[in-house]
A and B are shown apart, each in its own frame.
Chain A
């Protein structure tokens, strides 16, 4: 088969072509100086090239397993989280053009965004709902990974990276919470940072360094702003890159050792190999493949069905992105991001609540300050970090609720359920003086 590749066009040697014909060539030359291949691949080779030779796509392999693209394998949760993160970056940078991190101006800027700036309210709403969505999606993604055993060897480190990213997401969301400088922001951060104070030894210092003062004020605002717009996004970009790179290096998505019937192309009978390819007879000289200490090439095994990343994976990713953008836009049109009265340090609301994803924590703090605020959360975070290293044998990779993993899965689900219930109680069932109330 002759390869129908877009030819690179070197400048012609010898006779100089005419000026006019040269100019006529210019658009084509400019195009080919930017794009190395034709815009839409025409054959399989070009499909592979489109992915492997493209700066933006080359994090993909040229081909992916059909299984990886099935919705129920991942529900696209990791990709959705990334999409939301990218949307947060874009809207966040736009909001930065109007925002001023000062107690005197921040709140007015919020009102400006809501009323005076064209598209400002929409962008702020998208940013707010995307931030909430990212916390939820990251947790759901984590649950998918655990419940399909995808954190097991050799993917342990990528799980750890994921836990770090989840914590960064929470911190990112928390630092962003303060920026509107309204009552909600002020008291949520007052309460949230007060929880940090309960950490033994470093608690007081941690809170002081975070706030830059004894109380939430202008210093805290500038610190949270810098963390929110520069430090944390930079760290997250790097770690997200590492997280994605490791997916490929760890061999793609987790999958069972023996693929399902419908996931493979069976080898045809005349391709059946002789199973005793390397009979160990006396005096026989073995080929290299028989003696080197690695797995032999999998001849004879059924071939897993694969498709080209272009367009199968990229197309699905585009669809996911459009869905994300659409959902967030709709949410932003229907619901306004909350904005209460300007921050007033002398009038705490009753009850004062931390951001919703910390309300499970606050609920526990109400029972016992140290164990609820620091002890138990630390244990949970440590458990999350070591979870893949507690796994003792292979099995269950890539299968939802694999029977051999039921103990681990139930433990994990119980912890998640406990946190969810505590968060729901803290959010809906706590009223004045943190008394138990029924929301209806």
Chain B
């Protein structure tokens, strides 16, 4: 009789224990999930959705302002605009090595920081740069102005055809 009672007690204890441990594990789990979600949201919060700097899309005037064969370096925007016959392209002047601004030369680009050299296409000829320079999409606005979109990187050799 006595032994049986003990067994009963043990079983009751076991049930209690499971319930109690379920609740504690559940609470700990819920807290962990909340903390995890909060951390994730805070991390996403830190990644700006709206960039505050210079606009990534900007207009550079009418195509006729650029003579055929001309290369115009825009220091502020860090792009070079090149017109080749009736074709216009925009190439980034941000070195792919460590982010310095490259200088446009007759045969391509040269990075003054660590000596990377690119050809006219932006392909790496020499130096530590791991990737070619980026080409940006050039478009025409309804008003007939050229517009560069630095958010949109296109394949090297992608030009915009304009009327002569």
Binding site for B on A (CB under 8 A): 187, 190-191, 193-195, 197, 205, 208-209, 212-215, 217-219, 345-352, 362, 365-367, 369-370, 432-435
User: Which residues B117-164 have CB closer than 8 A to chain A?
Assistant: 127-128, 130, 150
Spell out B's residues near A (CB within 8 Å). Answer: 43, 46-48, 51-54, 56, 75-76, 78, 94, 97-101, 112-115, 127-128, 130, 150
Q: Within 8 Å CB of B43, what residues of A?
A: 209
Interchain CB contact (< 8 A) of B98 among A191, A209, A217: A191
The verdict on A352 contacting B115 (CB below 8 Å), with A212-B48, A365-B128, A369-B130 known, is no
B99–A193 touching, CB < 8 Å: yes
Q: How far is the CA of A369 from the CA of B97 in the complex (A)?
A: 8
- The residues of B that contact A351 with a CB separation of less than 8 Å are 112-114
Q: Is the CB of A345 within 8 A of B114?
A: no
The reply to whether A219 and B128 contact each other, CB–CB distance below 8 Å, is no
Q: Which of B47, B98, B112 contacts A350 (CB 8 A)?
A: B112
| Majority secondary structure of chain A interface residues (helix, strand, loop or mixed) | helix
Cα–Cα, bound, A348→B112 (Å): 7
Task: Please give 6 more A-B residue pairs, beta carbons under 8 A apart, in addition to A347-B75, A432-B112.
Answer: A191-B99, A345-B76, A349-B112, A370-B130, A433-B113, A433-B115
A350 B76 Cβ-Cβ under 8 A: no
User: With the chains together, A351 CA to B78 CA distance in Å?
Assistant: 19
Measured CA separation A219–B48 after assembly (Å): 10
**A193-B100 Cα distance, complex, nearest whole Å:** 11
Chain B CB within 10 A, most for which of A214, A351, A432: A214
B111 to chain A, nearest CB (A): 8
Which residues of chain B have C-beta atoms less than 8 A from A349's C-beta?
112-113
Tell me the nearest residue of chain B to A351, going by C-beta. Answer: B113
In the assembled complex, which residues on chain B have CB atoms less than 8 Å from the CB atom of A369? 97, 128, 130
Query: Would you call A190 and B99 a contact (CB within 8 A)?
Result: yes
Q: How far is the CA of A152 from the CA of B108 in the complex (A)?
A: 56
Nearest Cβ on chain B to A78's Cβ, whole angstroms: 32
Distance from A361 Cβ to chain B, minimum over Cβ atoms (Å): 11
- Closest chain A CB from B151 CB (angstroms): 9
Q: How far is the CB of B90 from chain A (nearest CB, A)?
A: 15
Given the interface pairs A346-B75, A350-B113, A352-B113, the reply to whether A218 lies near B52 with Cβ below 8 Å is yes
Q: Please indicate the chain B residues that have their CB under 8 angstroms from the CB of A191 in the complex.
A: 98-100, 113
B51 touches A348 (CB 8 A): no
